[in-house]
Amino acid sequence: MVALLAIVIISSIFGICRDAYAQSKAAAAKSHPAGKQKDEYHRPEPTAPFTPQIPSSNRLRPDKVFLEQADSIIKPAVAGTDRQIVKGNVRFRQMGTWMYCDSAWYFPEQNSLDAFGNVRMEQGDTLFVYADKLFYDGTSRFARLHCGPSEREVRIINRNVSLTTDSLDYDLAAELAWYSRGGVLRDEVNTLTSVYGQYSPATKDAEFFHNVVLVGEQNDFRLTTDTLYYNTATHIARIETPTVITTTEDEILTSDGYYNTTSGVAELLSRSIVSHTDSLNRTTTLEGDSIVYDPETRISRAFQFRGPGKNGKPVVITDTARKAVLIGGYGYYNDMTREAMATIYPLMMEYSRGDTLFLRADTILTRLLPRPQPAPQLPDSIAALAAMTQAASTGIEAEGAEAIGEIAGIAEERHAEEQNSEESPEESETPLTAVAIPTEPVRIEPDSTASTQPTDSMWHYAKAWPRARFFRTDIQGVADTIVFTEIDSLLRLKRRPVAWNEERQVRGDTIIVHLNDSTADWAHIPGHARMMEHVEEDFYNQLHADKMMMWFADGTLRRLEAEGSVETIMLPQESDSTFNRLVYAESSTLSIDMADGQLERLKMWPEVSGTVTPLFLVKRENQRMLPGAVWLDAIRPRREWYGGRLRWADDLGEVPEELELYFSRPDEK
């Protein structure tokens, strides 16, 4: 009975439940039509990214890396590790540095992370780093970045500066990034590549080593070296190893100095060479212990190291086209005007001819000047050539004076005095031989395009002053000012000039010497001419005249002409090669012909007066010498052998005491 009652009760309960389920199912069918029913027990999708929260932590702690955001986070059940795997829009932070990636392994207790895919680091709004992989230690604040599928290069972007490589180490604490397998640094003006390099975003300083190449993107130049220090803010490169800088027109060889890549100015602090090449491929080089090079003005200045402990070498300016070398303690070269100057014991060597011309003075200046087009037609005879070149002297000297006036650093007062006394009245007078000459001086007009458009129609001008002296094998001389003009091959000696040929000495107000390819072929003394020739002991052949002209053959006197107030003392050689008589003669004109160094013919006209004195009766000094005659062999320039090498007697360029005394005396009238 009891069992039956229990069955009835259970059946009733199941019936009630069945009816309730049927009613609920019918209601569900009304609200959800067939085929669109929703599983009420399926896990709902997230409505926002997962954001870890540590409300009580200081987010600006310098010793802690915080995970700020990720779409998912998984902590594998691996004993002994605190690794967390985070994915999707991952973002980390340490102080002001933010790190982004697609996924990462995060080690909270070790304060480090390994980031993968589209890695980006940001520091403020100025520094950005891009990579495919990042391994970061938050305690030392050290990052190691690599390229990969998402980023083919590791890049640092710091405002206008970018550093690109395949792998990069970045010390955030020291604010220093470096690479060791090749990289490229670019700023707004330059591109720099090297095997190893490092860059500081804070100081803008960069250092590069091995196969360093710096290329100017705005200024067309290329710098190659092994070690270079560079600042991306100043764009100045510091050079400490052998370096070559090549521009469109110039080349610089140096091993120490600074190069401003924006202005192109170079300050070279070791023995360096600057080479200038024009459109005709003619090269002029400037070599010195230190050089300041300015491409805008086209002016380079070079200096010799001087002082205790400095093994200084002279400045050397070489014009390969004109075969001239200019050396000194200080040198200046203007590539725009093709102008060079040297001071501090300067020496010029002009070797375009068979015999080298050596020239010394306190200051030496050279310049290329435009040749007149067409060139003046010169007469065929030697005498006519002398006449025309003398007439052209005014124009040539005026152009040379203009060239000198543009030189910086020349004493203006001394220069003005020299210009005022440059021309003497005697130079404008008619030369000895009567020939047809221009009535107006030949004027050499400057060509304003010559410096920028060089041509072969250029001629070499050189001036040495004061206390100048020159040396050639066949002729030597001294004067306060010496001028050489290539256009007419003339060497002009001004103020107290003296010249020597073999045993002869000539003086005058001015001496003009014509140089051909191998030797001097004539000399002209337009005023106050004096000549002496040593014969034996203290006897000299002497000749004084208002004007004098001499012609040479193979360095030996061949003919001489003198005109105006001619006075002579001669010791004619007897047939037995002895000297027994002293002849004194006066006349208006004299001519001498020589053969093999011996007197062949002497002619004096129109009237001759004089005396002949046996040599044994000549006792008094005034019988042996003409008034004002003096033998100046002590100041004659020489080159001698010293210790197995040939050098000047004044090897360092000092003025000998005798020469100093000679120029300190007042000019002779």
CATH number of the structural domain spanning residue 580: 2.60.450.10
The residue range of the domain holding 401 is: 370-406+413-633
Give me 501's structure tokens. 């040929």
In a domain, 386, yes or no: yes
Q: How far is CA 357 from the centre of its chain?
A: 27
**Average pLDDT, integer, range 102-120:** 95
How far is 308 from 29, CA to CA, in rounded Å?
A: 110
Q: 253 pairs with which residues across the strands?
A: 244, 273
- Alpha-carbon Rg for the chain, nearest whole angstrom, is 47
Q: What sign results for the dihedral spanned by CA atoms 253, 257, 261, 264?
A: negative
Tell me the DSSP string of 66-123.
EEEE-SEEE----TT---EEEEEEEEEEETTEEEEEEEEEEETTTTEEEEEEEEEEEE
Cβ proximity of 469 and 659 under 8 Å = yes
In a domain, 67, yes or no: no
pLDDT of residue 389: 45
**Average pLDDT, integer, range 146-161:** 95
489-548 tens-digit pLDDT: 888 999 999 999 888 999 999 999 998 866 788 999 999 999 999 888 888 999 999 999
Euclidean distance between the first and the last CA atom of the chain, given in angstroms as a whole number: 174
How many domains, the chain?
1
Closest CA to 438 of 492, 397, 380, 379: 379
In a domain, 669, yes or no: no
Q: How far is CA 652 from the centre of its chain?
A: 25
In a domain, 214, yes or no: no
329-350 tens-digit pLDDT: 999 999 988 899 999 999 998 8
Which DSSP helix (H) or strand (E) runs through 29?
helix 2-31
How far is 122 from 97, CA to CA, in rounded Å?
A: 6
Helix (H, G, I), strand (E, B) or coil at 654: coil
Q: 461 pairs with which residues across the strands?
A: 367, 485
> Could you identify the residue written with the tokens 């707004």?
188
Instruction: Identify the residue with better confidence: 498 or 371.
Output: 498
In a domain, 502, yes or no: yes
Quick check: bond before 606 cis, omega within 30?
A: yes
In a domain, 425, yes or no: yes
Cβ proximity of 71 and 88 under 8 Å = yes
How far is 250 from 656, CA to CA, in rounded Å?
A: 39
How far is 300 from 274, CA to CA, in rounded Å?
A: 8
In a domain, 98, yes or no: no
Answer whether 0.85 is exceeded by the pTM.
no
How far is 350 from 340, CA to CA, in rounded Å?
A: 14
214-236 tens-digit pLDDT: 999 888 899 999 999 999 999 99
pLDDT at 405 over 50: no
